[in-house]
Amino acid sequence: MTTQTTESWKKRLDDEYEQIVQWRRHMHANPELSFQETNTARFIADTLRSFGYEVRTGVGGNGILADLAGSKPGPRIALRADFDALPIDEENDVPYKSQNPGVMHACGHDGHTSTLLGVAKVLAGRQDELAGSVRFIFQHAEEKLPGGAIAMIEAGALDGVDEVYGAHLASYMPLGKLSVSSGPSMAAVDSFAITVQGKGGHGAKPHQTVDAIVVGSQLVTSLQHIVARHVNPLASAVVTVGVFRAGSAFNVIADKAEIEGTVRSFDPEIRKQLERDIRDMVHGITLSEHATYKLDYVNGYPALVNPPQQAEEVRDIFVREFGEESLYGLDASMGAEDFAYYLQHRPGNFFNVGSQNDSEDTAFPHHHPRFDIDERALRIAAQAFLAIIADKLLGEA
């Protein structure tokens, strides 16, 4: 019965594949920024209702929940997809190119959501086959702090959930490959914004000024010493300055400099140490140069830690479903993901699905204006989710 059921799911997934692609292209052409995804949320909710689901909208913002309760008792397994886009001008020349100037699905979230819609369509009306239930979590605002995950959790997204799973399309992995990580897999992400206030003046009379550019330059250089000289070389950390704004004319000493950057780490103690070091460094350098400062330091997403038990289970599921050769070794990433919050509350796994083929069009990195995917990855991601549901709610994959 189990094999017959899963084969029926695969057949239905094959039948829905073109529709999944069309959903993805619709969302790609109509992207919306984090916390502004009202039309996308409406599209998702309406699509779920067309399958027969009761839908809860406005969860923690623009989030959406739908449940499929099986006819027999069992665990509740949550599957999550995100649906916000990025402030990027798309450079691809494709029929489904973004119609919203300056906004683009450059990270695959359109693919994540269309995949999960496909899974919901495949499982719709299959309650009698399930021992347990499935919760579909469609999350807004993954790309912008504080993110949508924590608000959705506070609004009840994980209430009654036993395990939670998520997938991310990966242009740095070949099509047909899946990566399953155990332990710390993605970094905690923090940000800082420093305003250095000096005293401006004529470029010919520096002794009468406090040069904000010089003070800011010392800060930028010194910040690089934190990881190099304060963090154990066997640990991982990043301090990156991405913005330095100052000055208005070649012969004017600037009175103000603005510096912005990001901090990445895995270990919670190192994360605290990095913040302390940055605060101390900004205070000390500005004091010694007779400048003042304002520092805004924001603790963002925590490190994403995949529990070993579920990681091993998902690996076994994927080997049975796709073969040993499908597994792809992937090192931990200093990128960040607010799926980390779900894993702080419930066990589960966040895995990657390769979306790169032999064409350079699918090889551009995430957040690039020419990012795109091989859409066959959508079927693989959906099949991976269905294999997890089969293992958890049918007894075996």
Q: What's the token pair of residue 387?
A: 């294999």
How is residue 390 written in tokens?
A: 């089969």
User: Terminal CA-to-CA distance of the chain, rounded, Å?
Assistant: 11
Do the bridges between strand 188-197 and strand 292-299 make them parallel or antiparallel, or are there none, so unpaired?
Answer: antiparallel
Q: Is 128 a catalytic residue?
A: no
**Active-site hit among 82, 110, 129, 142:** 142
The string of DSSP codes covering 323-347 is -GGGB-----BS---THHHHHHHS-
Instruction: Evaluate whether 27 touches 113 at the Cβ level (below 8 Å).
Output: yes
Per the listing, tokens 């913002």 go with 61
* Burial environment of residue 208 by CB neighbours within 10 A (0 to 12, 13 to 18, 19 or more): exposed
Residue 331's region, left for phi above 0, alpha for psi from -120 to 50, else beta, is beta
Angle between helix 38-50 and helix 2-29 axes, rounded to 10 deg: 150
Helix, strand or coil, per DSSP, at residue 59:
strand
Answer yes or no: 331 catalytic.
no
Residue 81: strand pairing partners:
138
- How far is it, in rounded angstroms, from Cα 120 to Cα 133? 12
* Cα distances (Å, whole numbers) of residue 123 to 11, 56, 153, 383, 389: 12, 18, 24, 12, 10
Cβ atoms of 141 and 147 closer than 8 Å: yes
Phi and psi at residue 62, to the nearest 5°: -100, 15
Catalytic position from the list 16, 37, 82, 84: 84
Active site residues: 84, 142
